[in-house]
Chains A and B, each alone.
Chain A
Amino acid sequence: MLPTTDRFKKGAKETLADPVIQMSMEAVYNGFHTKRQSAGADTEGWEDQRDRGRAIKEHTIENLDYYLEMLTDNVDANGGNVFFANDSAAATEYILNLASDRDVKTVIKSKSMVSEEMSLAHEMEAVGIEAVETDLGEYIIQLAGEAPYHIIAPAIHKSQDQVAEMFKQTTGIDPGDTPKELTTTARGMLRETFQRADMSVTGVNFAVAESGSIVLVTNEGNGRMCTSIPRVHVAVMGMEKIVPSMQDLGVMLRILIRSATGQRISSYVTMVNGPRRDEEEDGPEEFHLVIVDNGRMKLLADEKLREALYCLRCGACLNACPVYRKVGGHSYGWVYPGPIGAVVSPVLSGLKQASDLPFASSLCGACREVCPVRIDIPNMLLHLRQQVVEGPPEVRSVGRMERLGWKAWRFGNIKSGRFRRGGKLANRLGRPFARGGMFKRLPPPLSGWTRSRDMPLPAASPFRDRFKKRLAQSSQDSQSSEGES
């Protein structure tokens, strides 16, 4: 997907003014976030489980080469194929070639964020392959021609009226208007597609190094359809999605699912250990695992950002984030929105273009609090902010005017005399323009500050003067009180 990360401020402004989206986003907090909080509270040893999950990810990422080798040896031994892709173009090319080689007409896709990085459905349609997103939320945004709004609820921003209108245009019949009726309509449309699919593309929630297995978590059952019906199953994963052994899955599934939706478990968890066995009744004849870098190597190489690779894509940080809940998913301009997106998108899709994203946070720490593996997102945002300001020229993106402004600021504040006189001068010059001790609007370059908040007028009698006076007063008082006794 082509990043539009440079549009953050514009996108945020539009979203703030959109009452339909603002209403829909209430569900993010009242639904997901609240449920996640009570799921954590109801789980015995919840904090220990999180610690354990973090320790598993930390160990795996620190030894990623070893586990990637083990994983792929075992996929190979299970009768599957593995392709390592440096970028999304290489991954796309592999999958398109495979589809053409196997004479594939219809591809069903189960939700995969990596395939969103690749715009895979779009690339397939471009070469004449029917590619249908089968997660209901992804299906809706595919019809709308949009990007996902939320990691686990891609169409959270669409009202049921908007969905009804889209279904009506697609089917030409009345799709109903309640969520139940609309879901039934989608069921009919998608079941027909499932039946004729000859290839599936799924994501991977966890890959198990020791057994060469992949694990898919869904509530809808589309992951199961994708691993049951087509001849060819292609699973696409970011290179970080590994756990060492099957016995590590219990804790990982527990913390992932409870953090995502607040459920104890999702309706379906599917583990795939290669293509179908010969004696089986059904299932794909071929299994392909595509392991994608696409910029993740940069996260791995930077010790301050490495833990972004622990992310399980549960979406809890989005739901907890006061900024995400207001500016919405599309403002972030790439595949991953919210706090984790503000870290990952700039690194994967280019920091210079995405230089606003590390600043799209109040650093309140709610994301770190809810993250199942305790990723320190605020700290990574600070690290990226520093790069935006002080990094090498290819990532730095502070304009000359801003630099000049800060130089002037430094000049005015570095000496106490300048600071004192400057304050008094500002008070005298500004007094006629202030209302109730506040500037409502300042001229450029200070207009940015007053667009969303007031600026106080510097005090006529600065604190240090008043403090001096008070000090003199109190020493006088104490002297006189001593005299009385």
Chain B
Amino acid sequence: MAITGRDAFLGRVRGALGKSPSAPAPDDATHLGLTPDDVRSAADGVRREMSEQADVLLDAVADSAATAGWKVRRVASPEDAADVVAEICYDAGATKILRSDQEVFNAVPVDAALQALGVTPGIATVGQAGTDVPALKQATFDSDVGITGVDYAIAETGTVVLHPRQGLSRLVSLAPGRHIAILTRGDVLPSLDELFTLERADYNEGAIAGSMNLISGPSRTGDIAATIVDGIHGPFEVHLVIIG
């Protein structure tokens, strides 16, 4: 859009550094020296590892997610996952439930399982849960539970990664008091490093989302009397349902 005041500012930076405008010599410390081809082949390697090591990574993330504060449930099939989601909603006494419009719900029959309990979940998109962005916002704040899929999970940290996009609102995993995320086999990364390799490859190919959220447990604060309390702004309870 616009850049204001740059030339003079950069001139002062160069003055302070005592250097003339020049590109830095390649440096081993950073990854900037990698070419797009390097990044692409590293990303291919990551995807291979995700699939070859899928079971090990799934076990690892089940542990680390529990450490991070997720309530973890492992199930064998998509149908079982839907039942567990319904059970969590039932136990919470939830009457207003929203879910994203992600592919995972084609395989996991969450709607049917909830309808069996007499609740129909809303779809958190403009046009369904809300007529416009403010109405969608209102709907997410009014809901008891938000249900989403998982783009990636990270074994190192117990993290769920979501890229907001069409069908996946930024608020559906944030504004309701409870968030349920459904993870399927093959989507788990070993560590943060692999995540950023994939993101960079996507960026190089012009395929990156407008934002990305790494979610590792409930919303937390320790700001009153240095006591950790769950649920300050976002969900006070987060569930990770793992299929496989």
Q: Give A230-250 as 1s and 0s: 1 = Cβ < 8 Å from B's Cβ atoms.
A: 000000000100011111111
The answer to the question of B143 belonging to the interface, with a C-beta cut-off of 8 Å to chain A, is no
Q: Which of A63, A250, A267, A291 contacts B219 (CB 8 A)?
A: A267
CA distance A81 to B5 in the complex (A): 12
Q: Give A403-440 as 1s and 0s: 1 = Cβ < 8 Å from B's Cβ atoms.
A: 00000000000000000000000000000000000000
Known contacts A244-B30, A244-B32, A300-B13, A80 near B1 by CB under 8 Å: yes
The number of residues on chain B lying at the interface, defined by a beta carbon within 8 Å of a beta carbon of chain A, is 88
Determine if B170 and A220 form an interchain contact, defined as CB atoms under 8 angstroms apart: no
CA distance A73 to B157 in the complex (A): 32
List A contacts of B64 (CB < 8 A).
Answer: 264
Q: Give A255-290 as 1s and 0s: 1 = Cβ < 8 Å from B's Cβ atoms.
A: 000000100111111111111110111110000000
User: Whole-angstrom distance from the CB of B101 to the nearest CB of chain A?
Assistant: 9
Determine if B221 and A224 form an interchain contact, defined as CB atoms under 8 angstroms apart: no
Q: Which of B125, B226, B231 contacts A281 (CB 8 A)?
A: B125
Q: Which of B17, B223, B235 contacts A300 (CB 8 A)?
A: B17
The number of residues on chain A lying at the interface, defined by a beta carbon within 8 Å of a beta carbon of chain B, is 103
Which of chain B's residues 117-142 have a Cβ closer than 8 Å to chain A? 124-126, 133, 136-138, 141
CA distance A80 to B169 in the complex (A): 21
The answer to the question of A323 belonging to the interface, with a C-beta cut-off of 8 Å to chain B, is no
Q: Which of A136, A244, A247 contacts B197 (CB 8 A)?
A: A247
List B contacts of A64 (CB < 8 A).
Answer: 13, 17
The answer to the question of A179 belonging to the interface, with a C-beta cut-off of 8 Å to chain B, is yes
Determine if B211 and A153 form an interchain contact, defined as CB atoms under 8 angstroms apart: no
List A contacts of B210 (CB < 8 A).
Answer: 272-277, 280, 283
Q: Which of A135, A246, A301 contacts B223 (CB 8 A)?
A: A135
Which of chain A's residues 197-251 have a Cβ closer than 8 Å to chain B? 209-211, 219-222, 224-225, 227-229, 239, 243-251
Write the chain B residue with the least CB distance to A134: B233
Determine if B233 and A191 form an interchain contact, defined as CB atoms under 8 angstroms apart: yes
The answer to the question of A82 belonging to the interface, with a C-beta cut-off of 8 Å to chain B, is yes
Q: Give A77-88 as 1s and 0s: 1 = Cβ < 8 Å from B's Cβ atoms.
A: 001111111100
Q: Which of B2, B223, B234 contacts A153 (CB 8 A)?
A: B223
Known contacts A179-B229, A221-B174, A224-B234, A65 near B17 by CB under 8 Å: yes
The answer to the question of A183 belonging to the interface, with a C-beta cut-off of 8 Å to chain B, is yes
Determine if B29 and A58 form an interchain contact, defined as CB atoms under 8 angstroms apart: yes
Q: Which of B6, B124, B208 contacts A82 (CB 8 A)?
A: B6
Q: Which of A65, A184, A194, A266 contacts B216 (CB 8 A)?
A: A266
User: Whole-angstrom distance from the CB of B181 to the nearest CB of chain A?
Assistant: 13
CA distance A301 to B12 in the complex (A): 10
Known: A222-B232, A281-B164. 7 other contacts (CB 8 A): A55-B27, A64-B13, A80-B1, A137-B223, A190-B232, A264-B68, A269-B214
Q: What would 25 A/B residue contacts be, using CB atoms closer than 8 Å?
A: A27-B226, A62-B17, A65-B13, A65-B17, A76-B3, A94-B4, A159-B225, A210-B203, A219-B219, A221-B234, A227-B170, A229-B137, A247-B196, A247-B200, A248-B32, A261-B222, A265-B159, A267-B234, A269-B159, A270-B212, A279-B165, A280-B170, A282-B171, A283-B211, A297-B12
Chain A residues with a Cβ under 8 A of chain B: 24, 27, 31, 52, 55-56, 58-60, 62-66, 68-69, 72-73, 75-76, 79-86, 94, 134-137, 140, 153-156, 158-160, 163, 179-180, 182-184, 186-187, 190-191, 194-195, 209-211, 219-222, 224-225, 227-229, 239, 243-251, 253-254, 261, 264-277, 279-283, 291, 293, 297-298, 300-301
Chain B residues with a Cβ under 8 A of chain A: 1-6, 8-10, 12-17, 19, 21-24, 27-32, 34, 39, 64, 67-69, 124-126, 133, 136-138, 141, 156-159, 164-171, 174, 191-193, 195-197, 199-200, 203, 208-227, 229, 231-235
